[in-house]
Amino acid sequence: MLPETHTLSAPSVNLLLHVLRLKGQDVEALCQQAGLDPVLLQDVNGRVPVEQMQALWQAAIAATGDPDLALHVGEAVNPTSAGIIAYVMMNAPTLHESLRKLCKYQDIVCEAIRTSLEVQQGEALVKLQVISSFLENPRHALDSEMIIYKNAFEALVGQPVPIKQVLFVYPKPESIAEHQRLFAPATLVFDAPYSGFVLDASCLQLPVVTANEELNMVFEQYAREYLQRLKEPKTVRERVQREIAQLLKGEEPGINTVARNLAMSVRSLQSRLKEEGVTYQALLDEVRKEIALRHLHDNQNTIADIAYLLGFAEPSVFSRSFKKWTGLPPGLYRQEHLRMQAAS
């Protein structure tokens, strides 16, 4: 499939614009430079592509001459201004449960960065990983998010949360004075495999000072519904891809079946796909290729099993198709993948 375009909420973009206004910047000019639609930013449910947000960061840093702008923006943001996700976190009973809600609902704020929580050997790791191919220079997005997280931890429990290490996936900047000031006394680690925080696991049991069980249920229901709407396919192309993936269970899903499931005629479906610049067969190939790659990487199924799962009549037909997609037959592709894994 084509790379997925990830988005972030318009209110989160407006937080940056608010800080820039306070710094005397011409935010309208910066938005125009980044290709941001002012009307979209006025919609509380609006979504902004991450590539436009990245362009806005670059324009803002050039205008202010501040390489640490993202840290300063995060420092200026009130953690409770993050909207529904903040309300869910503020009403969870403990820091542990609050962080679990953050991981679960983070896409409401930004889909380009995945937050996860790992607890082992007496330590808790809050991990931030960039998952969007469009976020080519993630430092600014990560810096602002991490300082907001740190401030949120302290606001939630009403006291400083001792952080052992702060990890940054990017190389060490020329000056780290602001990093040291904002994250002290934690040890800073640059060029890490991911960004995040390492803290004592005992901190997770700290109670959230604003916890309210009834409000927690109300806000979480709203967050669940919002996230579900966010994940719904936005285009006919995406709807067709989802249907094909669900129907690929040992037989090739025909366009007639997919059209019926989408409550459309075949002619109407073909016409809509043509408007989006794609054919049904091309989408079928994309979905099959993605699923085939996943199974070959897992190394759990035989080539014949994968061919059957993808609805091919014979393994040889699957092999020819896979070679057309990737330039290699599936068996050789799997060998190369395993060799590269072993080498790394």
Confidence class of residue 308 from pLDDT cuts 50, 70 and 90?
Answer: very high
Beta bridge partners of 167: 189, 196
**Is 221 a member of any domain?**
yes
- Choosing from 228, 262, 278, the residue where a domain stops is 228
User: For the CA atoms of 166, 172, 177, 181, what is the dihedral angle to 10 degrees?
Assistant: -10
* 277 lies in the same domain as 256: yes
pLDDT digits (tens, 9 = 90+) for 140-199: 999 999 999 999 999 999 999 999 999 999 999 999 999 999 999 999 999 999 999 999
CATH at 142: 3.90.1520
**Is 91 a member of any domain?**
yes
Q: What is the pLDDT of residue 298?
A: 80
Beta bridge partners of 47: 9
As a whole-number percent, the residues of the chain with pLDDT over 90 amount to 70
* 192 lies in the same domain as 49: yes
* 89 lies in the same domain as 206: yes
**Is 1 a member of any domain?**
no
Strands 187-189 and 163-167: parallel
* 193 lies in the same domain as 330: no
Average pLDDT over residues 283-310: 90
| Number of domains within the chain | 2
Q: What is the pLDDT of residue 344?
A: 52
CB burial readout 248-277, b (16+ within 10 A) else e? beeeebebeebbeebebeeeebeebbeeee
Q: What is the pLDDT of residue 123?
A: 95
**List of residues 6+ apart from 22 with CB closer than 8 A:** 76
Q: What is the pLDDT of residue 37?
A: 85
- Choosing from 228, 253, 280, the residue where a domain stops is 228
Q: What is the pLDDT of residue 133?
A: 77
**Is 14 a member of any domain?**
yes
* 188 lies in the same domain as 288: no
Q: Quick count: other Cβ atoms within 10 Å of Cβ 210?
A: 16
**Is 208 a member of any domain?**
yes
Helix (H, G, I), strand (E, B) or coil at 16: helix
* 168 lies in the same domain as 184: yes
Q: What is the pLDDT of residue 1?
A: 42
Q: How many residues are given for the chain?
A: 344
* 55 lies in the same domain as 96: yes
- Choosing from 195, 228, 261, the residue where a domain stops is 228
Q: What is the pLDDT of residue 343?
A: 66
**Is 190 a member of any domain?**
yes
* 319 lies in the same domain as 176: no
pLDDT digits (tens, 9 = 90+) for 212-267: 999 999 999 999 999 988 887 778 988 898 889 889 888 899 999 999 998 999 99
User: For the CA atoms of 164, 201, 170, 128, what is the dihedral angle to 10 degrees?
Assistant: -150
Token pair for 167:
């990890």
* 278 lies in the same domain as 335: yes
* 215 lies in the same domain as 265: no
Q: What is the pLDDT of residue 79?
A: 83
**Is 219 a member of any domain?**
yes
CATH at 299: 1.10.10.60
Q: What is the pLDDT of residue 4?
A: 57
* 172 lies in the same domain as 222: yes
This prediction has a pTM of 0.71
pLDDT digits (tens, 9 = 90+) for 73-123: 999 988 888 789 999 999 999 999 999 999 999 999 999 999 999 998 899
Domain that holds residue 82: 7-228
* 38 lies in the same domain as 163: yes
**Is 2 a member of any domain?**
no
Whether 2 shows a pLDDT value over 50: the answer reads no
**List of residues 6+ apart from 85 with CB closer than 8 A:** 101, 102, 105, 106, 108, 109, 223
Mean pLDDT score of the chain: 91
